[in-house]
Amino acid sequence: MSRPAITINLPEFRILSDVASVAQAVADHVVSALCVKPSLTLGLATGKTFVPVYARLVQKYRQDGMLLAKAVTFNLDEYVGIAAEHPASYRTYMRTHLFEPVGLPPDQTFLPGVEQEIEQGCTAFEDEIRQRRGIDLQLLGIGRNGHIGFNEPGSPFDSRTREVRLAPSTLEANIRDFPDGEVVPPSAVTMGIGTILDAREIIMVATGQAKAEAVARAFETSPDLVCPASALQLHPRVTVYCDEAAAGLLTSAACAFSA
């Protein structure tokens, strides 16, 4: 029996010289989307990659004061079992790097997995996205093992928001956020890959040589569950922003699309 046809899309690559240029270009992209639609539903990512991006959005807010005033945000993921106030929680990260500096009130920001009843919380999170008519623009980082959000290798491409176990390599990579001998929570709640692919537009950001292998695997091999980010080839509107180090293993064919 023949398989149903799937459409593979090459993203638009923007390869820039360094982290600062990538952060500025991504922030400009978000600001342009907000100019077109001030009530944008914006999907947000965390991690080191996005710290300079949010810093530039905050800078922009300080210049014109209106940025994000009408926007609603949905974060990709959060650890299970740590308090909102924990320094490594993604609620603390978002409050510190974006929500408080731009004055985004809590009723405009949603993070998954923050309720006591995780399953109900996941359903409520998906319902909230649906009620807002879906995510307009989703920001994504990429893990060294190719994860997006906390969708680890093996995650189904049609998965929805749910609790997941973190891969050993993710626990190892994220230990830097849990100093003083604390252990990284073994599980998290993440938007599913299906939830991510429902967004109307997606921006992926990767910086640093440590991401080069994951970036190449995501876009230069056929979509495969072993590399969750390769699911982005099934989406028609993806822009990948990389610095030269993260783009280092892309072939010239892919780089032909760079800015």
Give, as ranges, the residues between 106 and 145 that touch ligand GLP (CB under 6 A). 141-143
- Decide whether 69 or 194 has the Cβ nearer to ligand GLP: 194
CA-wise closest residue to 234 among 36, 27, 76, 4: 4
Question: Which entry of 75, 145, 151, 174 is annotated as an active-site residue?
Answer: 145
Report the C-alpha gap between 188 and 137 in whole angstroms: 23
- The answer to whether the CB of 138 falls within 8 A of the CB of 199 is yes
Residue with tokens 């980010």: 229
Report the C-alpha gap between 76 and 121 in whole angstroms: 14
Is 201 annotated in the active site? no
Q: Which stretch binds ligand GLP (CB under 6 A): 39-47, 110-118, 178-186, 229-237?
A: 39-47
Asked whether position 174 contacts ligand GLP by CB under 6 A, the answer is: yes
Residue type, 255: C
Report the C-alpha gap between 52 and 185 in whole angstroms: 25
Question: Which entry of 136, 147, 151, 235 is annotated as an active-site residue?
Answer: 147
Asked whether position 45 contacts ligand GLP by CB under 6 A, the answer is: yes
Q: Report the residue from 8, 9, 39, 48 that binds ligand GLP according to the rule CB under 6 A.
A: 48
Rounded to a whole number of angstroms, the CA Rg of the chain reads 17
Question: Which entry of 77, 78, 177, 198 is annotated as an active-site residue?
Answer: 77
Residues in the site for ligand GLP, rule: CB under 6 A?
A: 45-49, 76-77, 141-143, 149-150, 170, 174
Q: Would you name the residues annotated as active-site residues?
A: 77, 145, 147, 152
